[in-house]
Structure 1
Amino acid sequence: MDTIEILRTVSKLVYENVKDLAGTKEAVSGDFGRGAGGDISRNIDIVAEKTVIDYLKEINFDCVVLGEECGRVELSPNPKGFVIMDAIDGTTNAVRGIQFFCCSLAFAADEKLSSITDAAITNLSTGDVYWASKGKGAFLNDKSISVYKEKPIYKVVGINSSGSSPELMSRLAPIFEKHNHTRHFGANALEMAFLAQGLIDVFIDLRKKIRIQDMAAGYLLVKEAGGLMLDENLQPLDSDLNNEIRLSFVAAANKEILDEVFSLIK
């Protein structure tokens, strides 16, 4: 089985195992402390992660798992690469029953973001799977997708400003003032998938808080859909893969819209 088929298959298993948990008391039952990523682990997170790890063990997939809750789990002494897993991205939404959360999985051949070869982001409210393999384009289920290529009638700018400092909010203020259609739905990976699908034109996260697991799959998906993935200095984004790193990033449909939005930032 190809790597992308493994990611797509296990993503669907996660959907089946958690789709009825969202918004229920069972989603938060148990005391699991804080995961490797630093956030409080909820039952729905644990169920989703266990689904992924159990499946990878079942098929004897030689890899190292880098999970948001479980941290680094070595499933083989001779791994072929790394499965970068945020089994539930948007846990707050999932716990409250807000229908915007996803499973984000990526496979990297080496311990660099730029070595990601396959990615799957599954909308856990609908079961739709966004996926990509390096050099082969981006897809939603069986349909090819791309970033929005025309001049948009309504320019949609996604900004993750949760927990931002007053200084960062001051820098971003002109964007909020200029653009009436700013959005943040609460799950970075799924929002990056929306950009790859052409629903969002720019997505900005300059908080230096994003974990590798939150954006690894989106990184490849956006690039394969024809978009740009850049760091806070608007240079090509790359990073080591570990739980300690926190990143800023910018995803954009094209350079023209990127330049227009960033010309407003102080």
Structure 2
Amino acid sequence: MLKRIVDIVYKAGEIYTGAGSDLSVSLKTSNVDLVTKYDKEIQTFLYNELKRIIPDAALLGEEGDGNKELTDGYCFIIDPIDGTTNFVKGFQHSAISVGLAKDRELIIGVVYDPDLDNMYYAEKGKGAYLNGNRIHVSDCDMQTSLVLFGTCPYEHELAHKTFELTEKVFYKALEVRRGGSAALDICYVASGKADLYYELILRPWDWAGATLILNEAGGVCTQVNGDELSLNSIKSYVCGNKRNIEEFYGIYNS
């Protein structure tokens, strides 16, 4: 099943890389919440093709007015372009993300970076991979960690708290970066390209696929205060390794 999902996501990437200059950009909830015709086209393609694998699976996706809640049984959790603003600007840091849950537990994660042709994937209990090579989180402490963070762009009321926290992290870490795609940032932690990532509010479709990859790569993920995550809740998110995430909790609570 994993191979079939990977193949479908690769094909979805062809829609992304074949995008023309007319993206048909429109606004959703605010002037920073963008959607393009390619977000919608990729999601429709994924819906149609993934249903061929598991016809009775539910579909939870970012775009449109469809289901926004995880269900029992099989459920695909889809973000057709995570990092739409990057895509619109040609920043080349976006991802197609697909998670598969069974009875509300993640069992497969696939995240594709079409710009760099990097495919991250994992199946529960079978390890995590990047382009066929096994990946694992780093064992860096905070002082030697490259830290990625998100700015909660749709919730400006969290801006001050985000940047106040990031200033504290900046003084404790090796460096900080803001990439603009949660799915890719989590995969960067899973593969040891970065060491910790956090955001004070995140939607499940942003992190579902990448989180299974992170878990299979030996990573740890929770809400920023250490509470458990839920696929049915819009909450904060942090991931890292067993060393630096404990240090992060100390910074957050200071």
1:9 aligns with 7
Deviation of residue 87 (structure 1)?
Answer: 0.9
Q: What residue number does 2:22 align with?
A: 26
8 Å CA contact retained: 2:34, 2:84? no
Determine whether 1:221 maps to 2:213: yes
Deviation of 1:71 (Å): 4.4
**Superposition RMSD in Å:** 2.6
Q: Distance in 2 between matches of 1:137 and 1:122?
A: 17
Residues 158 and 48 (structure 1 numbering): CA distance in 2 closer, same or farther, change over 3 Å? same
With normalisation by structure 2, the TM-score equals: 0.86
Q: Provide the residue aligned with 1:205 in structure 2.
A: 199
Distance 2:102 2:54 in 1: 17
Q: Structure 1 residues 240, 178: CA separation in 2 closer, same or farther (over 3 Å shift)?
A: closer
Is the CA contact (8 Å cut-off) linking 2:144 and 2:173 kept in structure 1?
A: no
1:149: which partner in 2? 139
Q: 1:127 to 1:150 in 2, by over 3 A?
A: same
Tell me the SS of whatever aligns to 1:26.
Answer: coil
Q: In the alignment, what sits opposite 1:184?
A: 178
Gaps of 5+ in 1: none
Alignment check: 8 A CA contact 1:80 1:109 kept: yes
The corresponding residue for 1:252 is 240
Q: What letter corresponds to residue 16 of structure 2 in structure 1?
A: V
Pair 1:232 & 2:230 matched: no
Deviation at residue 258 of structure 1 after TM alignment: 1.8
CA 167–184 in structure 1, closer or farther in 2 if over 3 Å, else same = closer
How far apart are 1:155 and its partner, in Å? 2.0
Checking the alignment, whether the CA contact within 8 Å between 1:82 and 1:107 is kept in structure 2 is: yes
Q: Secondary structure at the match of 1:223?
A: helix
SS in 1 for 2:236: strand
Q: Count the aligned residue pairs.
A: 245
Compute the displacement of 1:167 (Å): 3.4
**What does residue 58 of structure 2 align with?**
64
Distance 2:17 2:101 in 1: 27
Compute the displacement of 1:252 (Å): 0.7
TM-score, structure 1 length as denominator? 0.83
Between the aligned partners of 2:12 and 2:192, the Cα distance in structure 1 is: 26
Cα gap change, 1:148 to 1:100, in 2 (>3 Å)? same
Amino acid at match of 1:261: F
Indicate the residue corresponding to 1:127 in structure 2: 117
SS class of match (2:22):
helix
1:3-39: per-residue Cα shift (whole Å, max 9, x none)? x223211110111111132xx532235x6x638xx94
Q: Give the Cα–Cα distance (whole angstroms) in 2 for the partners of residues 167 and 148 of structure 1.
A: 27
Identity of aligned residues (%): 25
Q: Which residue matches 2:167?
A: 173
Residue 41 of structure 1 and its aligned partner are, at CA, apart by: 2.4
Q: Distance in 1 between matches of 2:140 and 2:21?
A: 44
SS at match of 1:9: helix
Higher deviation after alignment, 57-66 or 40-49: 57-66
Aligned to 1:99: 92
Decide whether the 8 Å contact of 2:152 with 2:159 is kept in 1. no
CA distance in 2, matches of 1:34, 1:199: 32
